[in-house]
């Protein structure tokens, strides 16, 4: 007789864990503070209750080159990529020497997924790689690129 009670209790615990995991996977609806586009933030619902824990958001795949307090609120992927790209250009210009520029990009070499407005732009249907992309690559490809960091 005790076995069905135990089985029921185990099933309830397992179901609570599944419900908890599903709640964590829910995307949070946001509105871009710059262009007013609605988008889904990848921060889990459970993380929203804790402002210090920001796990799972797509924005974490971008280079962490600017403090969050510079933004009034979340930006959509396109607007955030433009803001990060502009900040990268400012930091590279301020760095000056080629060695200092390489040092800024070095921590991001593992990020191989290309991001528009950070790693490249599209002009007349052609991909134009940024200096940031070339610095992350850490070598010249020999194709005489417009933004080659090694000329």
Across the range 107-119, mean pLDDT stands at 91
DSSP state, 14?
A: H
Question: Does residue 54 register a pLDDT over 50?
Answer: no
53: confidence class by pLDDT, cuts 50, 70, 90: very low
* pTM of model > 0.85: no
Residues 6+ apart with CB under 8 A from 121: 127, 128, 130
* Pair 39, 27: CB distance under 8 Å: no
Residue range 43-52: mean pLDDT, rounded: 47
Asked if 48 contacts 28 with a C-beta cutoff of 8 angstroms, the reply is yes
Q: Residue 148 pLDDT > 50, yes or no?
A: yes
Bridge partners (DSSP) listed for residue 28: 41
8 Å CB contact between 86 and 132: no
User: How is residue 109 annotated by DSSP?
Assistant: T
pLDDT at 3: 53
Q: Which of 20-34, 102-116, 128-142 has the lowest mean pLDDT?
A: 20-34
Mean pLDDT, the chain, rounded, equals: 77
Cα–Cα distance between 76 and 12 in angstroms, integer?
A: 39
Vertex 144 angle, CA 138 and 146, to 5°: 85
Is-contact 33 73, C-beta < 8 A? Answer: yes
């Amino acid at each position: 007789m005790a076995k069905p009670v135990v089985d029921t209790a185990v099933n309830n615990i397992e179901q609570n864990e599944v419900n908890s995991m599903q709640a964590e996977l829910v995307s949070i609806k946001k509105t871009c503070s710059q262009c007013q586009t609605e988008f889904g933030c990848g921060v889990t619902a459970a993380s929203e209750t804790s402002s210090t824990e920001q796990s799972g958001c797509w924005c974490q795949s971008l280079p962490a080159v600017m403090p969050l307090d510079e933004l009034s609120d979340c930006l959509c992927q396109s607007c955030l990529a433009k803001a990060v790209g502009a900040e990268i250009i400012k930091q590279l210009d301020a760095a000056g020497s080629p060695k200092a520029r390489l040092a800024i990009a070095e921590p991001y070499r593992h990020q191989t997924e290309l991001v528009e407005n950070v790693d490249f732009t599209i002009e007349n249907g052609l991909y134009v790689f940024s200096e940031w992309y070339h610095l992350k690559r850490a070598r010249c490809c020999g194709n005489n690129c417009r933004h080659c960091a090694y000329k």
